Amino acid sequence: MKFNVVEDSITTALLELMQKKEFSKISITEIVQKAGVSRVTYYRHFNSKEDVLFTYFGIAKDKFLLSVLDLIMEKDWKAIVKAIFLTFKEKKEIVKSLQKAHLEHFFLDYLNAEFLEKRPIPAGYNDYFLYFLAGAVYNCCMGWLKSDCSDPVEQVIESFDKVYDSFTEKKEIKY
């Protein structure tokens, strides 16, 4: 999936508008005016505002996967989770905009799909465990967002690591 200049300007316009206005109240007219494109051009690339966000997440996912390809190949789970948290912190304003629009489930949907596809855990665990892990990452990220991601990433993933280790090594959780 590759972004072109028009898609980038439309997406940027929508994301900027979302920081100032409710998602449901943003019109296509406002987006195209801010992006400097026509309505025809908008509809040549996107079907809806949600489609703009889905496309953005697809591009963001591809960029993220390229950045952690070596970790994925090595199944370095802890490094992948750390990369997820660091990327989340970098994109926190976008997630805040999604949250404001009650669309943060896009992030959870992304995590679920990625965990099920990449299966970054030892053999023997079913899809429900992957949903559990994706939900844990999602909830940790959203909890971290409440403090504006001010705690160090190592502190955020410390408890997550303990839970993951206890499941993958079949040990009890100790705090």
Inter-CA distances, 101 with 11, 89, 94, Å: 15, 19, 11
- At residue 44, φ and ψ (nearest 5 deg) are -70, -30
- Model pLDDT for residues 7-44, shown as the tens digit of each residue: 889 999 998 999 888 888 999 999 999 999 999 999 99
CATH superfamily of the domain spanning 1-67: Tetracycline Repressor, domain 2 (1.10.357.10)
Q: How many CB atoms lie within 10 A of CB 15?
A: 16
Pairwise CA distance, residues 34 & 19, whole Å:
13
Pairwise CA distance, residues 70 & 170, whole Å:
27
Ranges of each domain in the chain: 1-67, 75-175
Nearest to 139 by CA among 155, 126, 156: 156
- pTM score, two decimals? 0.70
Supply the DSSP symbol for 47. Answer: S
Inter-CA distances, 66 with 6, 45, 83, Å: 23, 24, 12
- Model pLDDT for residues 78-130, shown as the tens digit of each residue: 777 788 888 889 888 888 888 888 888 878 887 888 777 776 666 677 888 88
Supply the DSSP symbol for 119. Answer: -
